[in-house]
Structure 1
Amino acid sequence: MGLAEDPSTTAVLEMDMRETDKIFETPQVKQLLREGQPVAALFVSVLHCIPDTDDPWGLIRRVANRLPAGSYMVVSQLASDDPALRAEITGFMHAVTDGNWGRVRSPSEVTRFFEGLELLEAEEQKPMEVSLWHPDSDLGPRQRSKEWIEYGGVALIKTALKRTN
């Protein structure tokens, strides 16, 4: 049985990730959260789908505060240093999703997701382009352009985070 097929180690829910209280009250998630046992929460290439008005940074804080110390948080999203390119990609995605999309953020905005968390394996303890995490590996092709990237990191949750605005 694979990891994804074992309900004692994995939960897949079809829910709005912004509804953290509802998610943490489901039987599947309650079963996974055992007192003192660390878990991992993965926000891989999804936060750019959350508009700023829905506070994606608060979403990460709410989840981190519900996880036991020693848990991990994986966060990545589309990012670009170029404001015009961010606007162009965001505009395109808004058009194809009838406005149901967030936006491409700058790397510094993605870095905010990690406030209060301890980044692992990151240069200078900051998030980075995810294709560079293990650049000596031949597991997959590297992105050739740098106009926009998938930017993120893996962080350890040492203690509950304080609420920030």
Structure 2
Amino acid sequence: MSEGEAASRVGSGGAEPRVDTPRIDISVAHPARRYDYWLGGKDNFAADRESGDAVAAAFPTIRTAIVENRRFLRRAVTHLARDFGVRQFLDIGTGIPTSPNTHQVAQSFAPDARIVYVDNDPIVLAHARALLTGTQEGATAYIDADLRDPDGIIAHPELRRTIDLSRPVGLMLVAILHFIADSDDPRGIVAHLVGALPSGSYVALTHGTADHMSAEESGVVTNASNGNVAVDLHLRTRRQFTDFLTGLDIVEPGVVPLAEWRADGEEQPRPSKEDVSMWGAVARVP
């Protein structure tokens, strides 16, 4: 199913997915399951759908933004694997699998590519282990960890078995940092992760922003996003987003609305910055 087809199915509802672990609190919306709902998936619950509908009421083009975020991931991984020769990827905040995933894109150019997925939602991990299988030449691994614990991610035995940190890595932080509060030092987290990567590695980032919203609109979106949700939303400005890339070499076309990042091959015209309201960039570790 294409992303556009998936988006068109949003709102179809359906039976609740099976729950096999007490870690899942279905009474509170979770960002990964809400994302799945917006993309037309079935791995979401009533709280996720209610939260998703509240955000959509405040920001009607949210589904466009979600689809464009997936397209950015596909383009970024394509450039890293095809043009920059990256053969290892660390995808943090994986989300419920929605094709094409990082390993599918990377291994279509380099069958020997190795990918580690990281998430802290048990539904995501269950689906990842069942569905995110790679080529015989490459490898995929899945870590139950939180972005707020970068040491735990970098030191995890599964990561160490799968990725060689002496060779370049593509670090994917796609639509995840806006769930990290300033009090948890998101810039320090990114710097910590980047510090574990060798020269020639790359970081791909996307992040929600209120730069293209009125103060009233951003307030409504934030309140809708944070109501009865397991993780709050923290929109940031272009300057704050660019701060995550301090010390890195930002590749062309720089920090741009994510729908515009190397999007010549996408359907035209591209969605407006107001409709997507997210920044995107890729940067090289010098």
If the length of structure 2 is used for normalisation, what is the TM-score?
Answer: 0.48
Q: Does 1:115 align with 2:246?
A: yes
Aligned to 1:106: 237
Higher RCO, 1 vs 2 (CA within 8 Å, ≥6 residues apart):
1
Kindly state the Cα deviation for residue 52 of structure 1 after the two structures are TM-superposed.
1.1
Question: Taking structure 1 as reference, are residues 93 and 9 closer, same or farther at Cα in structure 2, changes over 3 Å only?
Answer: same
Tell me which amino acid in the other structure corresponds to 1:103. H
If the length of structure 1 is used for normalisation, what is the TM-score?
Answer: 0.80
8 Å CA contact 1:40, 1:71 repeated in 2: yes
Q: Deviations over 1:86-114 (max 9, x none)?
A: 3322221111415x213111111111111
Tell me which amino acid in the other structure corresponds to 1:109. Q
- Between structures 1 and 2, the one with greater helix share: 2
Aligned to 1:87: 219
Q: Deviations over 1:102-129 (max 9, x none)?
A: 311111111111111111112xxx4111
8 Å CA contact 1:69, 1:157 repeated in 2: yes
Kindly state the Cα deviation for residue 46 of structure 1 after the two structures are TM-superposed.
0.9
Question: Taking structure 1 as reference, are residues 40 and 143 closer, same or farther at Cα in structure 2, changes over 3 Å only?
Answer: same
Structure 1: runs of 5 or more not aligned = 159-165
Tell me which amino acid in the other structure corresponds to 1:17. L
Question: Taking structure 1 as reference, are residues 73 and 140 closer, same or farther at Cα in structure 2, changes over 3 Å only?
Answer: farther
Tell me which amino acid in the other structure corresponds to 1:24. I
8 Å CA contact 1:89, 1:104 repeated in 2: no
Question: Taking structure 1 as reference, are residues 116 and 86 closer, same or farther at Cα in structure 2, changes over 3 Å only?
Answer: farther
Q: CA RMSD in A?
A: 2.5
8 Å CA contact 1:86, 1:103 repeated in 2: no
Tell me which amino acid in the other structure corresponds to 1:44. V
Q: Does 1:28 align with 2:152?
A: no
Distance in 2 (CA, whole Å) between partners of 1:69 and 1:57 is 19
Distance in 2 (CA, whole Å) between partners of 1:36 and 1:145 is 38
Distance in 1 (CA, whole Å) between partners of 2:210 and 2:252 is 22
Structure 2: runs of 5 or more not aligned = 1-102, 108-131
Higher-Rg structure is 2
Tell me which amino acid in the other structure corresponds to 1:156. R
The residue matched to 1:87 in structure 2 has which SS?
A: helix
Question: Taking structure 1 as reference, are residues 106 and 143 closer, same or farther at Cα in structure 2, changes over 3 Å only?
Answer: same
The residue matched to 1:153 in structure 2 has which SS?
A: strand
Tell me which amino acid in the other structure corresponds to 2:241. V
Aligned to 2:34: none
Aligned to 1:153: 281
**Sequence identity of aligned pairs in percent?**
25
8 Å CA contact 2:261, 2:280 repeated in 1: no
| Deviation beyond 6 Å, 4+ runs, structure 1 | none
Kindly state the Cα deviation for residue 21 of structure 1 after the two structures are TM-superposed.
0.8
Aligned to 1:38: 168
- How many aligned residue pairs are there? 154
Among 48, 56, 77, the residue aligned to 2:178: 48
